[in-house]
């Protein structure tokens, strides 16, 4: 978490998810942003990607959509994203984007981007069990799958 005073910030809830048809394969990402009765849906996809990249992209796109600094409560069913941002990233950065066994961090391009975006906000990383009836997570999953479907039908995806 960054050191911004969250007591004076608005709280935005973000549900983010990724999907992949094959791993690697065509993938989609989706995010549902909810704030004070307002909401925004975001989704897109990539032809040759992995599920982890789509999970990261969903959160990145959601944070990019925020117009000003806020307290963002990010809900994800990805342990990779949640633990990456709360436990692993400080070590990766200290080791110049290397894992504890000296290997390059996978997806470091996205981790670096996410790290920079997260520093603009006070982010709370909340893990939720996937496909367990959480309405926000189910909505993000639907959007991620919509991103894949749009891609497979030849639509424009980001």
Number of domains within the chain: 1
> Torsion angle, CA of 4/6/8/14, rounded to 10 degrees?
110
- Of 20, 30, 9, 26, which is closest to residue 75 (Cα–Cα)? 30
Mean pLDDT of 24-47: 96
pTM of the model: 0.92
What percent of the chain lies above the pLDDT cut of 70? 92
pLDDT in tens, 72-85: 999 999 999 999 99
Asked if the model's pLDDT at residue 6 lies above 70, the reply is no
Query: In this structure, is residue 31 part of a structural domain?
Result: yes
The CA-CA-CA angle for residues 77, 82, 85, to 5°, reads 155
Task: Report the catalytic residues.
Answer: 17-18, 55, 77, 131, 141
Q: Which domain holds residue 43?
A: 6-152
Strands 122-127 and 71-76 come out as: parallel
Region at 117 (left for phi over 0; alpha for psi -120 to 50; beta for the rest): alpha
State the CATH number of the domain containing residue 71.
Answer: 3.30.420.10
């Amino acid at each position: 978490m960054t050191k911004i005073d969250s007591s004076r910030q608005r709280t935005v809830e973000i549900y983010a998810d990724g999907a992949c048809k094959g791993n690697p394969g065509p993938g989609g990402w989706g995010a549902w942003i909810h704030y004070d009765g307002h909401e925004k849906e975001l989704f897109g996809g990539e032809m040759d990607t992995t599920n982890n990249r789509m999970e990261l992209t969903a959160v990145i796109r959601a944070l990019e959509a925020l117009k000003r600094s806020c307290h963002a409560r990010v809900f994800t069913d990805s342990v990779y994203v949640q633990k990456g941002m709360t436990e692993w990233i400080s070590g990766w950065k200290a080791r110049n984007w290397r894992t504890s066994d000296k290997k390059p961090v996978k997806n470091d391009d996205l981790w670096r981007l996410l790290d920079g975006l997260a520093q603009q906000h006070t982010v709370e990383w909340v893990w939720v069990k996937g496909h367990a009836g959480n309405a926000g997570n189910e909505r993000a999953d639907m959007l991620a799958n919509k991103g894949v479907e749009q891609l497979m039908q030849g639509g424009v995806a980001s």
